[in-house]
Chains A and B, each alone.
Chain A
Amino acid sequence: MNTNRRSFLKSSVTASAIGIAVGAGLISPRAVLAAWPKAAFQATDVNSALSAALGASNASPSGDIKLKAPDIAENGAVVPVTVTSKIAGTESISIIVAKNATPLAATFNLASNTEGFISTRIKMGKTSDVVAVIKAGGKLYTAKKEVKVTIGGCGG
């Protein structure tokens, strides 16, 4: 009886503390749930990186994603990549370089008022497909583009 009461109190206190913090906008729900996904960034193939980062790897190609990257990158250390998603309710944008030692380059988690747009610069070891993976409504959508690299950006 006593132990039940104790654990009940404990759990309700913890739950309400998180609830208050989220409600007050101090921390977003995502920030509470997800920390830096170590397994995803250490994964050495695309599918396991996707499963670790986004919980699934079965992404379907979508024409609503625009992936802008150069056809030929002279310097693999700095490859500008821009992803624009027109999919409603885009929750996150991940950038993957298929042939890098660890394919996952970055995951951007977007708030509800953040547009489906990300522009950044990535490193590429060699010529490879650059893949954008969008998570929206629990499903994954993808678009890819091959970028030819003349000088690798990893190692040296």
Chain B
Amino acid sequence: MAKSIKIRAKVKGGVTIVKTLISHPMETGMRKNKKTGKKIPAEYIQEVTCTHNGKNVLTAYWGTAISKNPYMSFQFKGAKSGDKLKVSWLDNKGKSDSAEVKIK
């Protein structure tokens, strides 16, 4: 699951605006395969953590009601251009990925 995360992070007036896009199916476990009638097993992200220079700025717990290929945006203070921002996720099947960018 390489490169499943896209991150944009930009400092503007002391506030860093972060936008992330993760490619993930986010299956709820309720949907049925139309051909076989069997339920498609649940596969969704449960936890997303964002750290700025190693310090946690956001921990998100997600349920199945987050859309497919989740988009998330948040803002935090105290970062400057060139700082590192890392985003990682973990899903219910134990799969995970992380990505790191430099804040613009």
Contact = CB atoms under 8 A, between A and B. Distances in A.
A97 B71 contact: no
A56 interface: no
A115 B79 CA distance: 13
Given A31-B56, A114-B57, A97 B70 contact: no
Contact of A119 (B62, B68, B72): B72
A24 to B, nearest CB: 10
Chain A: interface size category: 35 or more
A137 interface: no
A102 B64 contact: yes
A46 interface: no
B30 to A, nearest CB: 5
Contacts of A37: 61
B31 A155 contact: yes
Interface stretch (A7-15, A58-66, A103-111, A143-151): A103-111
A115 B70 contact: no
Contact of A114 (B58, B64, B73): B58
A122 B67 contact: yes
A111 B66 contact: no
A86 interface: no
B37 interface: no
Interface string B40-80: 00000011010000111111111111111011111111100
A108 B74 contact: yes
A14 to B, nearest CB: 22
B28 interface: yes
A56 B64 CA distance: 22
A100 B32 CA distance: 17
Nearest to A43: B63
Contacts of B76: 111, 113-115
B66, B74, B77 pick with most chain A CB within 10 angstroms: B74
Interface of B: 15, 28, 30-32, 46-47, 49, 54-68, 70-78
27 contacts: A28-B56, A30-B56, A31-B56, A36-B47, A40-B61, A41-B61, A41-B63, A53-B61, A77-B67, A102-B64, A102-B65, A108-B58, A108-B61, A109-B58, A111-B58, A113-B76, A113-B77, A113-B78, A119-B72, A119-B74, A120-B66, A120-B67, A120-B70, A123-B65, A154-B30, A155-B30, A156-B31
